[in-house]
Structure 1
Amino acid sequence: MKQHLSFLLVLLAVLSQATPNWASSILIPMDDQQSNHLKAYGIAYKILKDDMEVDWLLNYRGGSFMVKQTQAAETECRVRGVSFEVISDAKAASIKQQLADPDLNMNVVTLQKAAKIIVYSPIKVSPAEFENTDAVLLVLTYAEIPYEVIYDEEVLKGDLPKYDWLHLHHEDFTGQYGRNIHRQSLADIKVQEDIARKYGYSKVSQMKLAVAKGIKEFCAGGGYLFAMCSAAETLDIALAAEGVDIVSSAYDGDGVDPDAQEKLDFTKTLAFGNFTLEADNGYRGFSTFSDINSAGARGYDQPSGFFELFNFSAKWDVIPSMLTQNHENIIKEFFGQTTAFRKGAVKPSSLVMGEGKTSDRYIYGEVGRGQWTFYGGHDPEGTRGGGFRNPTDLKLHPHSAGYRLILNNVLFPSARKKKRKT
């Protein structure tokens, strides 16, 4: 009996040496079989943070991830409630061979290093209660992806090159404090005025222009910029209006340049051109910034339709393919101070990745050595109540296709860079 047992142990040892990798990969599906799409991105980021690579399987089961099998990775998936499959080396090789087929619109992109993430937000310096509905802050926290918060002072000090990925949300870079009812509190405004004085600017609008230029320089130097809602619109307005007073006396004590519209320089912007500034309706009165915003004076309307993601070549247009990975290509519309982008205002150099019936919702571009993505609207699952926006509980939306687009951008800088062909 002992000899028989010894023989079995030796046989098992030999077999384990002969086939050491029979189950050496973990597949994290991102189709309808995934129990938590949003937290799956957090698993991918955690693995990158642990100095391991992640294969992003473009257009395979909703843009699945494949990683080396480890007990730690399995445990993370179980703890976070993320679906996974342990597969053999042969199965992993078969999947990659399938994705390499030139007749299939699929590809493998290897993610190599976790990006160092920062979020530009007034919560760094003031209460800014409105920021508790910032979709990126919400989803980074829910997906358990670490980030740091910065604001104007860090940009002015030149700290941006320390990071890889920068997010801008519901911000006003024109120095008009959001031009929306209760958008910013008096405390928020005072903090910006104090920062402007500290750095020698006589107006907040001048300080915000310097910040906008710093953000553009960060992107041109090789950084990744992701902006949503009014930040996308007002960043370009500020850049186009350099040296031109577009801020009324209600905000800074002197009037608007009467020739401001004619003096705008669209060559300085990232995404938009051929836009017209909107007149101001008074301090703390509702007003849009320009006709870049396709929603115009409707402002925070309730969602009423859908927008569609474009289908790119995963082998030739790798970047937009990464940024549009999803288990759904029809996305529920959502609104914000800047809801979507008027088609006539989007520069031809900007790549449209998602559009509604009358507007562009999701666009991408390159400047210098860096890339940017602008996403219209405020919160992909946002609702309103009592006249104000309510914070979204992402536990109720673990499969949000709208939020997946945000997280695609978070992983994007971890990929080997491949320029698009079209």
Structure 2
Amino acid sequence: MPSLPVCVYTCQTNPVMKRLSLFLLVSWAIACWAAPARANSILIPMDDQQTDHLKAYGIAYAVLQADGDVDWLLNYRGGSFLIDFSTKFESECRIRGVSFQLLTDGGAASLKQQLANPDQNTDVVALHKAAKIVVYSPIKTSPAAFENTDAVLLVLTYAEIPYDVVYDQEILSGDLPKYDWLHLHHEDFTGQFGRNLNRLSPADVKAQEAIAKQFGYAKVSQMKLAVAKAIKAFCAGGGYLFAMCSATETLDIALAAEGLDIVGSSYDGDGEDADGQAKLDFSKTFAFQNFKLESDYGGGFSTFSDINATAGGGYGQASGYFQLFNFSARYDVVPAMLTQNHENVIKEFFGQTTAFRKAAVKSNVLVMGEGKTSDRYLYGELGRGQWTFYGGHDPEGLRGGGNWRIPTDLHLHPHSPGYRLILNNVLFPSAKKKKRKT
């Protein structure tokens, strides 16, 4: 509090100074009465009042990267964030166009007390230390033009969240333990080049064949199996895996088909095991069981198995919606974090693997979002690690010409609830793990 003007003697002997002293005293009193209490926290709301939901995640990640902590306010205003006040992050919110509110210590404490009310489905989860993020993508080694529509690459870039890129060489060289969080997108771990040769250029195919040869594998399918097993070991060892589109399906197919040849002659020049379907080992998979492999259509567009609820349909425009489940913020904190959103009904979107046939999902897998006839968003645990599978290719994607797709401009979709699910997964590893109660 400012000290009073020291003018006692002067005021008594000089009328002008006396009037000036009185003016200063009144001005000081008004300033003290009008000045707001000092802000100690920044609240980043994530409801409909947020101007850019996706960039808000980037602010939260930046705080963690600067060794700060973030309180994730589960089920409060769409899953809001609370951080300690700093002029740096107040400025960052303004620069990035992220809505925020300043709170005093009393205001923040009152909010946390409100969220701790056992009669409300709310809670506060403390996030510590930014996860080191890596994306598995062929852009590391080949033209891979189709990769410019990878939803995770798009949203990480838009949200200004840093990441590394690896491909088969780095995984086979043992680099995955350097990271906390791994993303897979429209990859084919069965070694059939995506079963869509219009998607891959000859240079892309040659790049994969060269990697297989470099590491001593006779076929790309054998090399991809080794990569799939390394990814599984990464997760079992405590890593966080987030997969979308065809990577979800083909990763499990490759693991189930270990030791079998399920690749058609159009891809590797020799025949496949006639009894391959009967020999699949579903105990080795992450999420799926009792699935049937799809026949090869000779190098054109085709799906891989009936895991995909729209098998044989290819890319297209979805017209329906899927629903996120409502989880307890206290007892089912993991799925509660992964489903934080300002909307719980989300527009469906297609991909080479669009959604998951319900009968193919293992009983120990948690379904976090479902459509009318299929599951869309799955969670599971493996060893000391955790994984999430998300069906579809791009939550806001539009169909391009032929088999190509137009990269989404996220400046047009800053409030995308479908993209928010991706970013929930990016922040998830920063929370202390709690087991689900139900």
Q: TM-score range by the shorter chain?
A: over 0.9
Task: Give 1:124 shift.
Answer: 0.5
Task: Give 1:14 shift.
Answer: 11
Structure 1 stretch 329-338 or stretch 87-96: which is displaced more? 87-96
Query: How far apart, in 1, do the equivalents of 2:388 and 2:30 lie?
Result: 53
Flag as ranges the 4+ runs of structure 1 deviating above 4 A.
Answer: 4-15
Match in the other structure for 2:435: 419
Match in the other structure for 2:276: 260
Match in the other structure for 2:15: none
Written as runs of structure 1 = structure 2, the 5 A alignment for 1:136-155 is: 136-155=152-171
Q: Indicate the structure (1 or 2) with the bigger Cα radius of gyration.
A: 2
Match in the other structure for 2:230: 214
Query: How far apart, in 1, do the equivalents of 2:165 and 2:66 lie?
Result: 22
Secondary structure of the residue aligned to 1:257 is: coil
Task: Give 1:22 shift.
Answer: 3.7
Pick the aligned partner of 2:199 from 180, 183, 202.
Answer: 183
* Contact 2:71-2:127 at 8 Å conserved across structures: yes
* Contact 2:180-2:240 at 8 Å conserved across structures: yes
- 1:334 maps onto 2:324 in alignment: no
Match in the other structure for 1:134: 150
**Letter of the 1:298 counterpart:** G
Query: How far apart, in 2, do the equivalents of 1:141 and 1:131 lie?
Result: 14
Structure 1 stretch 332-341 or stretch 295-304: which is displaced more? 295-304
Written as runs of structure 1 = structure 2, the 5 A alignment for 1:272-283 is: 272-283=288-299
Query: How far apart, in 2, do the equivalents of 1:44 and 1:143 lie?
Result: 10
Query: How far apart, in 1, do the equivalents of 2:6 and 2:82 lie?
Result: 42
- 1:380 maps onto 2:395 in alignment: yes
**Letter of the 2:279 counterpart:** K
Distance change >3 Å, CA 116–CA 8, structure 1 → 2 = farther
CA RMSD of aligned residues (A): 1.9
Secondary structure of the residue aligned to 1:337 is: coil
Match in the other structure for 1:65: 81
Query: How far apart, in 1, do the equivalents of 2:361 and 2:312 lie?
Result: 19
Match in the other structure for 1:243: 259
Structure 1 stretch 399-408 or stretch 92-101: which is displaced more? 92-101
Query: How far apart, in 1, do the equivalents of 2:219 and 2:69 lie?
Result: 47
* Contact 2:189-2:251 at 8 Å conserved across structures: yes
- 1:358 maps onto 2:373 in alignment: yes
1:370-412 C-alpha deviation (Å, 9 max, x unpaired): 0000000000000013222111000000000000000000000
- 1:84 maps onto 2:100 in alignment: yes
Task: Give 1:6 shift.
Answer: 8.6
1:257-277 C-alpha deviation (Å, 9 max, x unpaired): 000001000000000001000
- 1:315 maps onto 2:330 in alignment: yes
**Letter of the 2:318 counterpart:** P
**Letter of the 1:286 counterpart:** F
**Letter of the 1:86 counterpart:** L
Query: How far apart, in 2, do the equivalents of 1:70 and 1:20 lie?
Result: 16
TM-score (norm 1): 0.96
Match in the other structure for 1:167: 183
TM-score (norm 2): 0.93
Query: How far apart, in 1, do the equivalents of 2:28 and 2:66 lie?
Result: 35
Structure 1 stretch 176-185 or stretch 142-151: which is displaced more? 176-185
Query: How far apart, in 1, do the equivalents of 2:170 and 2:437 lie?
Result: 36
* Contact 2:320-2:348 at 8 Å conserved across structures: yes
Query: How far apart, in 2, do the equivalents of 1:170 and 1:315 lie?
Result: 34
* Contact 2:123-2:330 at 8 Å conserved across structures: yes
Query: How far apart, in 1, do the equivalents of 2:29 and 2:427 lie?
Result: 44
* Contact 2:316-2:399 at 8 Å conserved across structures: no
Query: How far apart, in 2, do the equivalents of 1:102 and 1:421 lie?
Result: 16
Match in the other structure for 1:343: 358
Pick the aligned partner of 2:133 from 92, 113, 117.
Answer: 117
Structure 1 stretch 70-79 or stretch 296-305: which is displaced more? 296-305
* Contact 1:248-1:255 at 8 Å conserved across structures: yes
Q: Percent identity?
A: 73
Distance change >3 Å, CA 153–CA 9, structure 1 → 2 = farther
Query: How far apart, in 2, do the equivalents of 1:24 and 1:272 lie?
Result: 48
Match in the other structure for 1:28: 44
Pick the aligned partner of 1:400 from 392, 412, 416.
Answer: 416
Task: Give 1:10 shift.
Answer: 9.8
Query: How far apart, in 1, do the equivalents of 2:235 and 2:111 lie?
Result: 35
Query: How far apart, in 2, do the equivalents of 1:206 and 1:20 lie?
Result: 66
* Contact 1:57-1:66 at 8 Å conserved across structures: yes
Structure 1 stretch 384-393 or stretch 402-411: which is displaced more? 384-393
How many residues align? The count is: 418
Match in the other structure for 2:209: 193
Pick the aligned partner of 1:226 from 242, 257, 260.
Answer: 242
**Letter of the 2:304 counterpart:** F
* Contact 1:21-1:89 at 8 Å conserved across structures: no
1:298-339 C-alpha deviation (Å, 9 max, x unpaired): 111211100000000010000000000000000000000000
Query: How far apart, in 1, do the equivalents of 2:390 and 2:193 lie?
Result: 21
Query: How far apart, in 1, do the equivalents of 2:220 and 2:25 lie?
Result: 80
Secondary structure of the residue aligned to 1:361 is: strand
Task: Give 1:225 shift.
Answer: 0.2
Query: How far apart, in 2, do the equivalents of 1:68 and 1:288 lie?
Result: 48
**Letter of the 1:322 counterpart:** M
Pick the aligned partner of 1:292 from 282, 303, 307.
Answer: 307
Task: Give 1:8 shift.
Answer: 8.7
- 1:52 maps onto 2:63 in alignment: no
* Contact 1:26-1:85 at 8 Å conserved across structures: yes
